[in-house]
């Protein structure tokens, strides 16, 4: 599957020109068939089908909009989780700051800023830190942390984790969609290219028609 577009126009313009070129060729099909029998009704039908298939494929701007939405969901759920962890950090410092700093270090709140520079690292930080919060929940609750905060921590992290997974999955799906879209568009362009090449010979003695087919690039 080719990864690069073989045409230089934007996609809607190329498809529009393809429709025009198809109509022009249909009107002159007998002349094309006389030059090369490959230009027949089956060729025209296959060409139109290729145009329709390419036009029906999800547009690139739609893919970008969905990806932007996914990114927004990741950011929103992450901020909700970070807000919970800010509160958890307060109670962890209250519970262990003056009693057992070694335990406090296990929560690794000081490593959060660095972890946030990398999504995989941040996910791992959250997974491990959450385990320590659960393990030492009795001390945190004694320090005044509410049981609801423990629930919120788990809920917001899961929402963030799910959103990040969904975004990563969509990125891969979008890449596949892009490759397929380009392949379909290139197929249309290949029909266009064949017709334009033939038209320069079919209408070698008709400058006007020759120029008309040359213009629909």
How is residue 216 annotated by DSSP? -
Taking the whole predicted model, whether its pTM rises above 0.85 is answered as no
Distance CA 182, CA 54 (A): 9
Residue 146 resides in a domain: yes
Q: Which secondary-structure segment (H or E) carries 142?
A: helix 137-142
User: How do residues 155-185 score in pLDDT, each as one tens digit?
Assistant: 999 999 999 999 999 999 888 888 999 999 9
Distance CA 92, CA 80 (A): 19
Distance CA 108, CA 114 (A): 11
User: How do residues 122-156 score in pLDDT, each as one tens digit?
Assistant: 999 999 999 999 999 999 999 999 999 999 999 99
User: How do residues 75-119 score in pLDDT, each as one tens digit?
Assistant: 999 999 999 999 999 999 999 998 899 999 999 999 999 999 999
What 3-state DSSP class applies to 124? helix
Distance CA 18, CA 37 (A): 21
Residue 25 resides in a domain: no
Residue 14 resides in a domain: no
Give yes or no for a contact between 92 and 107, defined as CB atoms under 8 angstroms apart.
Answer: yes
Q: Is the pLDDT of residue 216 over 90?
A: no
Confidence of residue 67 (pLDDT cuts 50, 70, 90): confident
pLDDT of residue 217: 55
Q: Which secondary-structure segment (H or E) carries 19?
A: helix 11-27
Range of the domain at 130: 60-217
Residue 1 resides in a domain: no
Give me the number of domains the chain comprises.
1
Distance CA 63, CA 57 (A): 11
Residue 5 resides in a domain: no
- Short-list 160, 115, 153, 148, CA closest to 131: 153
Give yes or no for a contact between 70 and 185, defined as CB atoms under 8 angstroms apart.
Answer: no
Length of the chain: 217
Q: Is the pLDDT of residue 1 over 60?
A: no
Residue 137 resides in a domain: yes
Residue 123 resides in a domain: yes
Residue 36 resides in a domain: no
CA distances from 172 to 175, 179, 182 (A): 5, 11, 16
Distance CA 46, CA 98 (A): 77
pLDDT of residue 8: 86
Least confidently predicted of 2-6, 35-39, 101-105, 174-178: 2-6
């Amino acid at each position: 599957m080719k990864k690069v577009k073989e045409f230089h126009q934007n996609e809607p313009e190329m498809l529009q020109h393809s429709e025009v070129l198809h109509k022009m060729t249909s009107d002159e099909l007998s002349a094309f068939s006389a030059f090369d029998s490959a230009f027949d009704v089956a060729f025209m039908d296959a060409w139109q089908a290729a145009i329709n298939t390419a036009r029906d494929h999800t547009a690139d701007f739609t893919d970008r909009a969905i990806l932007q939405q996914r990114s927004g969901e990741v950011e929103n759920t992450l901020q909700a989780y970070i807000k919970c962890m800010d509160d958890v950090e307060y109670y962890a410092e209250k519970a262990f700051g003056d009693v057992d700093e070694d335990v406090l270090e296990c929560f690794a709140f000081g490593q959060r800023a660095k972890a946030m520079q990398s999504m995989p690292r941040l996910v791992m930080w959250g997974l491990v830190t959450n385990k320590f919060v659960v393990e030492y929940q009795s001390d945190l609750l004694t320090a005044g942390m509410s049981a609801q905060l423990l629930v919120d921590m788990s809920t917001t992290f899961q929402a963030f984790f799910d959103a990040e997974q969904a975004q990563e999955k969509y990125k891969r799906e979008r890449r596949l969609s892009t490759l397929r879209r380009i392949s379909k568009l290139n197929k249309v362009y290949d029909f266009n290219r064949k017709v334009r090449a033939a038209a320069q010979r079919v209408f070698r003695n008709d400058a006007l028609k020759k120029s008309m087919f040359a213009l629909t690039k």
